[in-house]
Homo-oligomer: A and B are copies of this chain.
Amino acid sequence: MTLNDEEKHQKRMQIKKAMIDEKVAKATEERGVLIVLSGPGKGKSSSGFGTIIRALGHGYKAAVVQFIKGTWDCGERNFIQERCPEVPFIVMGSGFTWETQNKEQDREAAQQAWQQTKVLLQDESIHLVLLDELTYILKYGYIDAEEVYEALRNRPREQSVIITGRGAPVPLKELADTVSMIDDKKHAFRGGIKARKGVEW
């Protein structure tokens, strides 16, 4: 007996469906997850914000802390603040560290943002918290990494957290349930194209 193209496709898809169904059946634990999005490629913060609207789209409460881009014009912040005023949105007061060039000022701003973040990480009503660009704050030592890991471990069981930024520390990745490393294979910027409003920021 020979199978025609349509039958072959159906058979392949049946096998694929069975494999996927089996994997799905094995994943039974229900709880919030810690997701780390790191690496040099484009897509970390935007993925965090895309997941925020995913949560909102199901009627869940979500919150955002922006640790770095505080002083920059930023489309995703404009959008959430204008259209989703119910979303707690904390912005670290200074800018990128190579813009301010003032360690003390940055450290203070980071500490302030972190104190507000800790409150979010204890709030059972919040389904998803985005800690955008937190890794840089850890890297510069502006907040105590152990204190951060402790707060993440002790958060409400149903709460998920997304942390973005280059150079995620190893203990953070170990603590995480999901780690995506975004590789920069090609970037318009290196091709001489100016960073695009409404795409890059």
- Point out residues on A near B: beta carbons under 8 Å: 5-6, 9-10, 13-14, 16-17, 20, 23-24, 26-33, 35, 37, 39, 41-58, 60, 74-80, 82-84, 97-104, 127-128, 160, 173, 176-199, 201
Contacts and interface: CB of A to CB of B under 8 A. Distances in A.
Contacts of A181: 41, 182-183, 185
A153 B33 CA distance: 40
Contact of A201 (B28, B29, B54, B56): B54
Listed from nearest, the 6 A-B pairs whose CB atoms lie closest are A57-B79, A57-B75, A46-B50, A50-B50, A49-B50, A54-B75
Given A42-B178, A57-B75, A197-B58, A188 B102 contact: no
Contacts of A28: 192, 194
A3 B28 CA distance: 56
13 contacts: A31-B193, A33-B193, A41-B181, A41-B182, A42-B47, A46-B54, A47-B47, A53-B80, A54-B201, A57-B77, A176-B186, A178-B188, A178-B189
Given A6-B103, A196-B160, A183 B39 contact: yes
Nearest to A198: B55
Contacts of A13: 97-98, 100-101
